[in-house]
Structure 1
């Protein structure tokens, strides 16, 4: 495993992080014992960054069980405050409806109890919109939690692919990290957000690095998702065959010459730029987790191949629109 410094906080965190969204059942049901073991499995292989959220069902509670079982060094724990306004995922809402006064503290206290820890290393807003910058109370509440030692760092998670909405906040010096969608089909954070974070010593957490699994090549025309699976409508933003054709183009051009698998190619692409502090992937299935972790130590993509993928395989579209814009 390779490690980076997490911005101003200074922690050394694994370049590949454990994305704990899958612990909440959004990618199918799994035995709780297996989920706990999946966390320990990743920690044993050097993963020391875990990203969870209040909004991820039982994720924090299950993670808390794993932390009590784990006998090694405590990993870096990032969580997110749950928004009270579901409309805030698809478009801007007032900060008062998403995070009313007092809720940031209440949500954080719940997270602390569920995780069984006294301090959360990074607390993120699970929604963020730039017009909130003109309202002071939410940042003041987070700063008080930091002063009290309940959180160590402050970050925001951008709701969807609109990466540029956090640029002014990054420049303000008020936050420690930004979490954003970033993968082969959507490399737009490379244009402005990632370089600006580098200039301001703000950590970048890349998420959806496998595009909800699509960049592993698992998706077929007849793939059926069970009710409750986050991906049930995700890949049908456009006719599914268009997605499959683009994935197969990647396979034909770059596998196995530059990566053993499509997933490895996707991970190498996201980790190529030094401005990406850590990239989180759902690793609740040990077999896939092991393959993803192994990819970090393999030969990086040549610069020319990275640029070729960035320029000729980008396919920017907002799949979240199938969920929040009818």
Structure 2
């Protein structure tokens, strides 16, 4: 396992992180024992960066159970403040910060996270949604800074709502935050154009998420794939006819598998970890087999530079599948 310094916080974190959205049932239903085992298994394999959120159903509670059982070095735990806006309000388009995070709500949400996780300090607390219009208002940052002064959180970050990487540029340059979490994968490498270099210049950590594009870059998707009850991907891959997505993945397979990677999933993971400006890349590892496969892929090391550049330049296919969720 490779490790990186997490920006100005200085902690060494695994470059491959445990994305804990799957602990909350977003990708199917699993039992608590199975999910706890997936966390412990990943920690045993060297993963020490875990990203969860209040919005992820039972994720924090289950992660708390795993942390209670874990006897090794404390992992770096990141969570996110739950937006108070109902439904999808404020995710697809901006709403006032007073609606998303009214005064006092950041503390209330953080306190719930601390209880659920069973920890005294959360290493990184992120806003689960952020819009640059909010920078005109100070109270939300003041609340986070007070939590930091009290030792309840160590660092402050933001998670971008979707592929619009540019909305974080001014805050990344402000010196007020420690990290930015953003969508980043083979089909959408645009964060490398501006966001990642600016974060590097300002010692702001970058957390890459959706590195397998919600599983699409594993090659699992078929025309007749059916998603189970509660799986949020029920509409995700139907933004366009599925055949278009499947064909894009097939072209990747033909061009790079097995010459440079054993699978498209391995190719996607190694691509996500290639650039030094990506501090950590998170993937759902709520099933131990997924953890083993992802860790094995990461251990293969970087792709040849010319292959990475070819993928970055010629296989990008930027689209906002979240629009099916915001504006069905």
Per the normalisation by structure 2, the TM-score is 0.99
Aligned pairs (5 A) from 1:141-220: 141-220=143-222
Separation in structure 1 between the aligned mates of residue 3 and residue 243 of structure 2, nearest angstrom:
38
In 2, the alpha carbon distance for the partners of 1:178 and 1:184 equals: 19
Match in the other structure for 1:59: 59
CA distance in 1, matches of 2:183, 2:140: 24
> How far does residue 227 in structure 1 lie from its aligned partner after superposition?
2.4
> Aligned equivalents of 2:321 and 2:230: distance in 1?
17
- How far 1:163 moved relative to its partner? 0.5
Distance in 1 (alpha carbons) for counterparts of 2:91 and 2:234: 17
CA displacement at 1:299 relative to structure 2: 3.5
Q: Which runs of 5+ in 1 are unaligned?
A: none
Structure 1 CA distance for aligned equivalents of residues 287 and 222 of structure 2:
20
Q: Which residue of 1 aligns with 2:39?
A: 39
Cα displacement (A) at 1:296: 1.5
Structure 1 residue 300: Cα displacement: 1.4
Q: Which residue of 1 aligns with 2:21?
A: 21
Partner of 1:306: 308
SS at match of 1:170: helix
Distance across 2 between alignment mates of 1:52 and 1:223: 27
Task: Spell out, residue by residue over 1:111-140, the C-alpha distance to the aligned partner (whole angstroms, 9 max, x if none).
Answer: 000000000000000000000001000000
Give ranges in structure 2 of 5+ residues lacking alignment: none
Deviations 1:27-66 (A, max 9, x none): 0001110000000000000000000000000000000000
| Counterpart for residue 319 of structure 2 | 317
SS at match of 1:212: helix
State the shift of 1:260 in Å: 1.1
Structure 1 residue 95 and structure 2 residue 97: aligned? yes
Map residues 239-258 of structure 1 onto 2, 5 A cutoff. Answer: 239-258=241-260
Shift of 1:288: 1.4
Q: CA separation of 1:95/1:54 partners in 2, compared to 1, >3 Å: closer, same or farther?
A: same
Q: Secondary structure at the match of 2:213?
A: coil
The equivalent of 1:82 in structure 2 is 82
Q: Secondary structure at the match of 2:22?
A: helix
Q: Distance in 2 between matches of 1:285 and 1:249?
A: 28
